[in-house]
Structure 1
Amino acid sequence: MSSPRSVASLSHGTGKRTLQQQRSEAVQEEKKKQPWAVGKNAALFAFFVVVLPTVMILAGVSHTPAAAATRLGWTMLGTFTARGAVQKRAEENNRCDTSVGRWVREPSVPAYTAATCPTLPDSKNCRKYGKDPGHLYWRWRPDGGCDLPRPSPARFLAAVRGKRLAFIGDSLARNQMESLLCLLSQAEAPTKVSADDDGVREWRFPAHGFTLMAITTRFLARAEEVLGGDGRPTASFDVHLDAPDPVWASRHLRELDYAVFSTGNWFFRVNYFSEGGRRVACSGCSGDADAGELADFGVAHAVRRVVRAALEATARCGSCKRGLVAFVRTYTPSHFEHGSWFDGGYCNRTRPLEEDEAPSWDQSIGWDVRRAQIEEVTSARKTTTTTRFEVLDVTKAMMLRADGHPGRHYDKRSAGGGANDCLHWCIPGPIDMWNDVLLHKIAETASPPATNLR
């Protein structure tokens, strides 16, 4: 993926929302739900302890002592709740919320290095071009007393034995695949099946029967470059909201057991959106001569519509495997300071940000995009019983990792000056956390989906 020309600017948001505000809003929302939960629990208690034994006695078991009827009521209560709502709530309460937490120093060495991972690309091997990796080794510790275990390649491969998993998205999706490939190669040497075959990279772990893929698609939907008056491609795209990219939707989705969707960074430019073969809206187009009377979606709503279309196509997939788990990885921002890719922007931080430092580049648009993605996953869950929809919520964690990008340390030329890469992530580095969360979520898929998404 070529670097999005205007991805660096996060000034499209309309008002700042601090991390503290987000957490406060979540707490308030949870408080609103509590009276309902208390009432429901009281109703269940009254039914099984009082009403049920009484009904049984009146229905012809009056010869049974009341104490026996009560014991029977409690027995039935245990049977029902073991399989029903009470257990479901307990499982949800026991889930580890990995979306909120803090970065702590990692005293141990990383799970892999360039020396132990032959597939690590030079452009993400920040140490090769002069970046000291020591400050990258921090670990994400979720709030609430739970913990993400250190990455275990053997445990991951055991969980996905005989499965196919694909990262579907732009170059950040490929970045995550590269991180997971390095991790898993510590347990088994992978075999390359294909590379950049129509934007598809595929690796096989034969001893575990596991296939790992990266499917490149900038917008998840079919998109064509907009041509300028001279007939040459511009920086803009025509994105078809009613036509998922066939590379993933038609050719590979039906093969998958796990699909990880992600998108966002290519929306920070002027783009146009079509349905039924005609343009219906645009984003970033205010004042653009080609926009005409089109309404400007804005970045967050444009992402919402594309994610919605992708999840609807997945839910409608009649030839897909029953039990397909589709994840949406939430938006992660770039961390350019004082410019962007080609006009002097840089990212030379040497530690994670504190929470009160994160809004310094006006990250409110990042929260808006994240919210849209999570809401679309929640809606998609109501449309199908054969596909499970989940969220990999990494937005807050990555907002704080301004230190984790290659910066000028991604090739020989940039190491001496020039453009900086403050969008992609060093590996090993903070992006490994995405796969820690992914393994955690895959392990959870044996349980009912959480309903308290934020």
Structure 2
Amino acid sequence: MHQRWQKRKSQLPLIAILLFIFVAFTILYNESNIPGIHHRNSPPSGVDGGEVRPRSTFHGGDFFSPTPPQSFGSVRNPPVRLDKHAICNSTVKYSGRRAFPAVRRAAESGVRPPDRKCDLFSGKWIFDNKSHPLYEESQCPYMSDQLACHKHGRHDLGYQFWKWQPHGCNLKRWNSVEMWEKLRGKRLMFVGDSLNRGQWISMLCLLQAAIPSDQRSITPNSELTIFRAENYNATVEFLWAPLLVESNSDDPVDHRLSERILHPDAVRRHSSRWQHADILVFNSYLWWRQGPVKLLWSDEQNGVCEEIGGQGGMELAMEVWADWVAGNVDPSKKKVFFVTMSPTHMSKDEWEPGSRGNCYGEKEPIEDEGYWGRDSDMPTMRMVGEVLRQLGSKVTVLNITQLSEYRKDGHPTIYRKFWETLGPEKLADPASYSDCIHWCLPGVPDVWNELLFQFL
């Protein structure tokens, strides 16, 4: 008995050593597959180029099954942080590269089944000077000088009195208190360009009167601007991200650049801001209409950019954005909206053939139902529609394009603050510097928010 115990005891250290080696090997093996733990050949933590989640690739209108996350190439140095000083050392034609080699299946593919008998986006504008406007321009402390048309000299105020009337049903009447109850304890964030910022300002103007002045605050204007309602423990925020992905135009003020450069595979810097919001409202379109863009891939070390047309660049950005949505959005916990393109009214002969000029001097909506202007780019709309369709119920589309097409009267034209000095030649010809892109407030963006109210 004693001898057998001695023999067994002498074997214990060897067994313990083997067991220790096995456990250590198991830990190291598993650690190499834990997101966030990087090794010599992995991209540095916190770098956009280090995202290795599979990409949503659209093939024949469907998603393929996902594969485990994997690196698509080692990054020897952190990618260049894009800002207004970024440059391309050289430019070549677009190679056809996409952001990720893998694919991802949305939790629920296909078109989201309609949950309403009425199409809220099909209808007409009705003049209503009893219930509209929903607020007074002068009573909104958050009004932008870019959108305050009456303040800057517009005296025909008819643009404030039109309400949207869907065919066969009615919009629920706007109620600020009810909206705040929907937002209680939540973060509502608008993400996009100046048109989305206009919708955010509209929302502040619609909501602010219901909050006592000592219960509301707003951060200084920056990339992320936050309005807080203390009594509802809620925020209404705006994040400047005009191209959705990281770009050299991400400064919310100083972004007028002759060369537009973007990381087509990098969304993490923006998504780190928006990922914890409860309700997200995205837009993107206008900035892709200003000519070709330059692609600087995150793992490119020599500053070589690829040039691509605006629609192609937008498709790449939308795919990377869609990949984030597919992998991070649970519709039961987070609501995501995408606002379709906001139309412009740059050429009067579109709604009045043979005429010259633009939206300057227009005082009434277009009455021709089904009207489409040339600037509403159908191929781009189809591309965006396909991307959104693949995301199923993860995204709700706010289809504001055609209803806004009718509102040629709703733009600031010359009645806004212009940030550059206008010369005598331009001032002598008002139509030459009319803003036919943005929208006066109160006005069209208020209806966009009324529609958002219906879906919350």
Calculate the TM-score normalised by the size of structure 1. Answer: 0.63
Alignment of 1:79-228 (within 5 A): 92=114, 94-108=116-130, 109-131=132-154, 132-143=156-167, 145-189=168-212, 191-197=216-222, 199-224=223-248
Higher share of residues assigned strand: 1
Task: Give, as a single letter, the amino acid of the residue that structure 1 aligns with 2:120.
Answer: T
CA contact 2:293–2:310 (8 Å) conserved in 1: no
**Corresponding position of 2:368:** 355
2:286 pairs with 1:265:
yes
Q: What is the aligned counterpart of 2:415 among 409, 412, 420?
A: 409
Q: Secondary structure at the match of 2:323?
A: helix
Whether the 8 Å contact between 1:123 and 1:411 is mirrored in structure 2 is: yes
- TM-superposed CA distance for 1:316, in Å, is 2.5
Q: Residues 192-212 of structure 1, C-alpha deviation per residue, up to 9 Å, x if partnerless?
A: 342233x11100111111100
On the 8 A contact 2:200/2:237 being kept in 1, the answer is yes
- Tell me, what secondary structure is at the counterpart of 1:425? coil
> Secondary structure, in 3 states, of the residue corresponding to 2:409?
coil
Paired residue secondary structure (1:204): strand
One-letter amino acid matched to 1:259: L
Q: Residue 237 of structure 1 contacts residue 272 of structure 1 at CA under 8 Å; is this kept in 2?
A: yes
Task: Name the amino acid aligned to 2:447.
Answer: M
Structure 2 residue matching 1:272: 3-state secondary structure: strand
Mapped to 2, the partners of 1:308 and 1:192 lie a distance apart of: 36
What is the percentage of aligned positions where both structures have the same residue?
Answer: 26
CA separation of 1:201 and 1:321: change in aligned 2, threshold 3 A? farther
Tell me the SS of whatever aligns to 1:102. strand
In structure 2, distance between residues paired with 1:234 and 1:435: 31
**Residues 119 and 146 (structure 1), Cα distance of their counterparts in 2 relative to 1, 3 Å cut:** same
Q: How does 1:34-73 map to 2 (within 5 A)?
A: none
Query: Which amino acid is the alignment partner of residue 211 of structure 1?
Result: T
What is the distance in 1 between the residues matched to 2:144 and 2:390? 37
Deviation, 1:348, is: 2.5
Question: Which residue of structure 1 aligns with residue 313 of structure 2?
Answer: 302
Q: Deviations over 1:359-382 (max 9, x none)?
A: 4x42451x3333322321221238
Matches of 2:126 and 2:219 in 1, distance apart?
38
Alpha-carbon distance in 2 for matches of 1:399, 1:368: 17
Equivalenced residues, count: 319
1:326: Cα distance to partner?
1.1
Structure 2: how far apart are the matches of 1:436 and 1:373? 23
Q: In structure 1, how many angstroms separate the alpha carbons of the residues matched to 2:256 and 2:172? A: 47
Partner of 2:62: none
Unmatched 5+ residue regions in structure 1?
1-88, 226-231, 280-289, 383-387, 443-454
CA distance in 2, matches of 1:98, 1:113: 25
Alignment of 1:273-422 (within 5 A): 273-275=295-297, 277=299, 296-297=308-309, 299=311, 301-317=312-328, 323-337=333-347, 347-355=360-368, 358-359=371-372, 361-365=373-377, 367-381=378-392, 388-411=394-417, 417=430, 419-422=433-436
Whether the 8 Å contact between 2:296 and 2:305 is mirrored in structure 1 is no
Which stretches in structure 2 are left out of the alignment for 5+ residues?
1-111, 250-254, 350-356
Shift of 1:314: 3.0
**Counterpart code for 1:348:** G
Greater fraction helix: 1
RMSD: 3.3
1:10-69 CA distances to partner (integer Å, 9 max, x unpaired)?
A: xxxxxxxxxxxxxxxxxxxxxxxxxxxxxxxxxxxxxxxxxxxxxxxxxxxxxxxxxxxx
Which residue does the alignment assign to 2:448?
A: 434
Q: Conserved in 1, the CA contact under 8 Å of 2:281 and 2:337?
A: yes
Question: How far did residue 175 of structure 1 move?
Answer: 0.5
- In the other structure, the counterpart of 2:263 is 240
| Distance in 2 of aligned mates of 1:356 and 1:372 | 24
1:411 Cα deviation (Å)? 2.6
Listed one character per residue, the Cα deviations across residues 140-169 of structure 1 (whole Å, up to 9, x for unaligned) are 1112x1211232111211111111010000
CA distance in 2, matches of 1:194, 1:93: 37
Q: Is the 8 A contact 2:264 2:296 kept in 1?
A: yes
- d(CA) in 1 for partners of 2:293, 2:203: 32
Q: C-alpha distance in 1, partners of 2:320/2:305?
A: 23
Q: 3-state SS of the aligned residue for 1:103? A: strand
